[in-house]
Structure 1
Amino acid sequence: MRKEGAKLELDNDSTSIKEMLEAVRLAKEAQAKYQEFSQDQVDRIVKHVAEAAYQASEKLARIAVEETGMGVTEHKKIKNELGSMGVYQSIKDEKTVGIISENKKEKITEIAYPFGVIAGIVPTTNPTSTAFFKTLISLKSQNAIVVSPHPSAVKCTVEALQVCHDAAIEAGAPEGIIGWISRPTMAATTELMHHQDIQLILATGGGGLVRAAYSSGKPAYGVGPGNVPVYIDRSANVSKAVKLIVDSKTFDNGTICATEQAIVVHKNVKEMTIRELKNNGAYFLSASEKALLENVISPIRGKLNPAIVGKSAERIASMSGIKVPAGTRILIAEEDSIGKEIPFSIEKLSPIFALYTAADLEEAKKICQELLNIGGRGHSLALHTNDDDVTRMFGLEMPVSRVLVNTLASIGAAGATTGLTASLTLGCGSYGGNITADNITARHLINIKRIAYGIKDVEIPKPSQSIEKRVSNDEIVEQVIKKATGNQMKNIDTEMITQLVKSVIEQYQKS
């Protein structure tokens, strides 16, 4: 039986790899044609793809929830709309083809050129919206893309890519410009990332996959995990803050990596915060219930149970043997410990909160820092305050790439409720071991060559005569000594000869 299973796995790998190789071949051929397109042609294709994706948002949201069992259809629809027209609006006016800027004063001309064929790795938590997003920014930057979907989200991801592909071809793009693996395996995904014709990797997924992308030897944009703390300052509008936090946490059942994971509350507003949380559908766990849920969050300490990801609070409570009122939106337990072995303090990707109490601002910063240190460095932090000094302090001191103030962190980080660039791939910078702290977009997928004219005159000095003379003097001395010793002069004082010759030469040069 084991041999049959191994053979089946090998057969699946072989089929998947063959499909990948063909997709890359076609993508390379298509991209060679596509890079000859004008900016207008590219923009027309990108717009048509974005509109088609937007129109399919609701249908694909439904398919994604049915296939993965994660999230909320209405919320995935919003993510699909952000990943399509939201992304389009943020990139539509960017120049990405040919000459993109001319600085007449500095006499610098910038010319964009694409990477070529991009490998896109798509996660199970946000499959269709990420497929839209990566396709659009690749097309905008004149690249082709080949996508490896998550095995648990193949149907919805391929459906999303098919929508994009058909719209692109209809708008005049070359056949093969968007490709995918319809039966993905880890072997095929690994081969895709190492393929000689892949020039860049866009990796969204687990830590192991992102590390594999970075170790492939190719340029790669990957993202670190999120473990976003949210601090409720004593100056905050608590009622408004709590509503935003609960809405954010329950958005798509917490599947977005920028979603808040732990609440840190100033002791002065703790009672009010607890009251408002309960008013917004929170259920506070007793000590015994907390212990039950800990074993469901992390049966093996330090590892998240994937079975709870994207599930509702009521569903997770039922899995834990906890009875909660109908309509419960989030599960909360008070916590005072932090560590990878503390289930409530890790990234949970579900509507579960830890609640920490801070005696003052310094303790609040310390708690947030420790939460980020166990997973989430470089990603994001949420803040509810009306004190600009507090905002600046957190901005300067926290090891994150985004500080989201008085908004929903989950979708605010992606640009839905903030002025940040609309993106489904959020860089974590050097804090998180990433090459950039930006929200990844089309400009990250182009190279820029520069024509630079000379604008400054520089006088290059000639070697000084004194140096030449010193060199020639030394040579003369050396020749005299050689000649003297060559004639077998006995009891010769070479130091005396050296001084004598130099003295004669100096007298000669003065005359």
Structure 2
Amino acid sequence: MNDINKEIDFLLSTARDAQRRFEAQGSQQLFDRAAVAAAWALMQPDRNAELARLAVKETGLGNVADKITKNHRKTLGLMRDIKNQISFGLVNDDPTTGISEYLRPKGVVAAIVPSTNPLATPVNNIVNALKTGNAIILAPSPKGAVPLAKLIGYIHAEFDKCNIDKNLVQMVPAPPSKAKTTRLMAGADMLVVTGSQSNVRAAYSSGTPAIGVGAGNVVTIIDETADLDAAATKIAQSKCFDNATSCSSENAIIIVDAVYDDMVAALDKAGGMLLDDAQTDRLIATHWQDGHLNRNMLAKDIDIVLAELDLTDLAPKGTKFLLAPTSGIGADHPISGEKMALFAALYRATDFAEAKDKARQIHAYQGQGHSLGLHSTDDTRAHSLAADMPVCRVIINQAHCFAAGGSFDNGLPFSLSMGCGSWGGNSIDENLNWTHFVNHVRITRPIPPSEPSLEDIFADYWADYRADYWQETAS
């Protein structure tokens, strides 16, 4: 243990020294150059393809083509979001309030990253950290260590071209371990944790300021006004992307009775195979074993999933994912939880009100705070969900896994870490972005006083509830 502590403490020391120099030399141009260099290390097409292949080989999760797309689009979108953003120095000078505002780095950021996205998530964190003048140390999952080490090697090569200190971006030495991560969390200035809820809880209890994100378990509602073919196409695209590794992939689909049969037919046309009761029971028994998800199905290609369930010969040609009809919700019905596999639970509801209630029950079991999808042309229903449901995002008529983390055709910031607010036990309720990586420093100066009288504040209240007050004060 002493050796581990010394190893991590040395890592933190070199990162802290590098960050201090980075900030002392600090300029927006320098920070932006470092962020662009790190992004290009992954986005360069040959490296992206090589790293995507390595990630799938090492983790056994997802598929290469989609990881290439994810690495490219998520990073490109992030770079669009931060381009021309002022993230350091004086950002506001208001003579009316007498306040000037500066942005300063947090210091050394520690990022705990999941095996589901061992490249796109680290780069997102690295770019945000560098954009704001921080150093960053990454702690990968054991299966994600090899591709991350390769990625950081490419980042360092880009840094050499720009004369940027390589100690600004480091990773926990292999092999990763809980002891190393614990020591890192205790010594950093800020934590960003994406992945298992046990890691998030450990970060919050570490004593270091932490940003953690909640569990996904996306529910999508299809009402009687929806464009069914468009909804089915988007659900299929989202569900199947990178073999459902995304926390924003649809896990439960609730269809109102008026369009249930037609929507199931549309999903069938989009590649969704409807299971019967016996097949659904077998799927549940196969995928959940002693409280754990079956790694033989987890984020695997559909042919592997079908073989695992003895459905290879029964599946229609063109099957891309499975639909498992069910009515159960809660701990006794694990199919109502997150699956990270190429199937979704299928529910039916008499109307929108019942669909909304079922979604609430599902999220009460798992995924509260994350997001909820709706396919509808009635915008009042979107407002109904936003005003009443315990979620931080309501995604309308979009492929959910692309939309929730930011997309080129919606206004959310590009991110792979979605805050779930108080409902999900998180300190943020928005997509993690560069604004979470800065400290705000405010200069305050004296201004003409603005002190109200008691009557200015309480007159209306007294008039309604203390009619005798005026007499009391008068006497």
- Superposed CA deviations along residues 15-41 of structure 1, whole A, max 9, x for unmatched, are 655543332121011001011121111
Match of 2:12 among 20, 24, 29: 24
- Alignment-derived partner of residue 264 in structure 1: 254
- Superposed CA deviations along residues 75-121 of structure 1, whole A, max 9, x for unmatched, are 11122113422211111222121112222333321011111101111
Q: Give 1:378-397 correspondences, 5 Å limit.
A: 378-397=369-388
Q: Tell me by how many angstroms 1:312 deviates.
A: 2.1
Match of 1:223 among 213, 235, 238: 213
Counterparts of 2:49 and 2:398, CA distance in 1: 25
Q: Give 1:345-364 correspondences, 5 Å limit.
A: 345-364=336-355
Worse-matched range after superposition: 208-217 or 303-312:
303-312
- Superposed CA deviations along residues 309-368 of structure 1, whole A, max 9, x for unmatched, are 211232122112333245321111111110122132110011111110010111011010
Q: Tell me by how many angstroms 1:166 deviates.
A: 2.5
Task: Give yes or no for contact 1:338–1:345 (8 Å, CA) kept in 2.
Answer: yes
Match of 1:138 among 123, 129, 140: 129
Task: Give yes or no for contact 1:264–1:356 (8 Å, CA) kept in 2.
Answer: yes
Counterparts of 1:24 and 1:114, CA distance in 2: 16
Task: Give yes or no for contact 1:131–1:161 (8 Å, CA) kept in 2.
Answer: no
Q: Which amino acid aligns with 2:82?
A: I
Q: Tell me by how many angstroms 1:178 deviates.
A: 0.6
Task: Give yes or no for contact 1:414–1:426 (8 Å, CA) kept in 2.
Answer: yes
Match of 2:436 among 444, 450, 453: 444
Task: Give yes or no for contact 1:132–1:164 (8 Å, CA) kept in 2.
Answer: no
> For structure 2, which runs of at least 5 residues remain unmatched after alignment?
454-475
Q: Which amino acid aligns with 1:452?
A: T
- Alignment-derived partner of residue 484 in structure 1: none
- Could you say what secondary structure the match of 1:378 adopts? coil
Aligned residues: 446
Counterparts of 1:459 and 1:307, CA distance in 2: 67
Counterparts of 1:86 and 1:108, CA distance in 2: 33
Whether 2:138 is the aligned partner of 1:147: answer yes
Residues 401 and 299 (structure 1), Cα distance of their counterparts in 2 relative to 1, 3 Å cut: same
- Superposed CA deviations along residues 218-257 of structure 1, whole A, max 9, x for unmatched, are 1101111011100001100000001000110000011100
Q: Tell me by how many angstroms 1:396 deviates.
A: 1.1
Match of 1:69 among 60, 64, 71: 60
- Could you say what secondary structure the match of 1:331 adopts? strand
- Alignment-derived partner of residue 283 in structure 1: 273
Counterparts of 1:458 and 1:385, CA distance in 2: 49
Counterparts of 1:367 and 1:175, CA distance in 2: 50
Q: Tell me by how many angstroms 1:183 deviates.
A: 1.6
Residues 286 and 45 (structure 1), Cα distance of their counterparts in 2 relative to 1, 3 Å cut: same
Whether 2:412 is the aligned partner of 1:423: answer no
Match of 2:199 among 202, 209, 221: 209
Counterparts of 2:3 and 2:373, CA distance in 1: 45
With a CA cutoff of 8 Å and minimum separation of 6, indicate the structure with the bigger relative contact order: 2
Q: Tell me by how many angstroms 1:191 deviates.
A: 1.2
Counterparts of 1:460 and 1:205, CA distance in 2: 49
> For structure 1, which runs of at least 5 residues remain unmatched after alignment?
1-12, 462-511
Counterparts of 1:221 and 1:312, CA distance in 2: 32
Residues 459 and 108 (structure 1), Cα distance of their counterparts in 2 relative to 1, 3 Å cut: closer
Worse-matched range after superposition: 108-117 or 306-315:
306-315
- Superposed CA deviations along residues 266-299 of structure 1, whole A, max 9, x for unmatched, are 1111111111111111111122211111112212
- Alignment-derived partner of residue 71 in structure 2: 80
Task: Give yes or no for contact 2:35–2:126 (8 Å, CA) kept in 1.
Answer: no
Q: Give 1:204-353 correspondences, 5 Å limit.
A: 204-300=194-290, 302-323=291-312, 324-353=315-344
TM-score (normalizing by structure 2): 0.90
Whether 2:39 is the aligned partner of 1:50: answer yes
Counterparts of 1:170 and 1:147, CA distance in 2: 22
Q: Tell me by how many angstroms 1:459 deviates.
A: 8.4
Larger gyration radius, structure 1 or structure 2: 1
Worse-matched range after superposition: 396-405 or 79-88:
79-88
- Alignment-derived partner of residue 170 in structure 1: 161
TM-score (normalizing by structure 1): 0.84
- Alignment-derived partner of residue 507 in structure 1: none
Task: Give yes or no for contact 1:49–1:167 (8 Å, CA) kept in 2.
Answer: yes
Counterparts of 1:407 and 1:448, CA distance in 2: 35
- Could you say what secondary structure the match of 2:357 adopts? helix
- Superposed CA deviations along residues 163-187 of structure 1, whole A, max 9, x for unmatched, are 2233234323223111112321111
Residues 267 and 135 (structure 1), Cα distance of their counterparts in 2 relative to 1, 3 Å cut: same
Residues 458 and 266 (structure 1), Cα distance of their counterparts in 2 relative to 1, 3 Å cut: closer
Counterparts of 1:377 and 1:351, CA distance in 2: 22
- Could you say what secondary structure the match of 1:438 adopts? coil
Counterparts of 1:132 and 1:15, CA distance in 2: 29
Counterparts of 2:275 and 2:305, CA distance in 1: 13
Q: Tell me by how many angstroms 1:394 deviates.
A: 1.1
Q: Tell me by how many angstroms 1:14 deviates.
A: 6.8
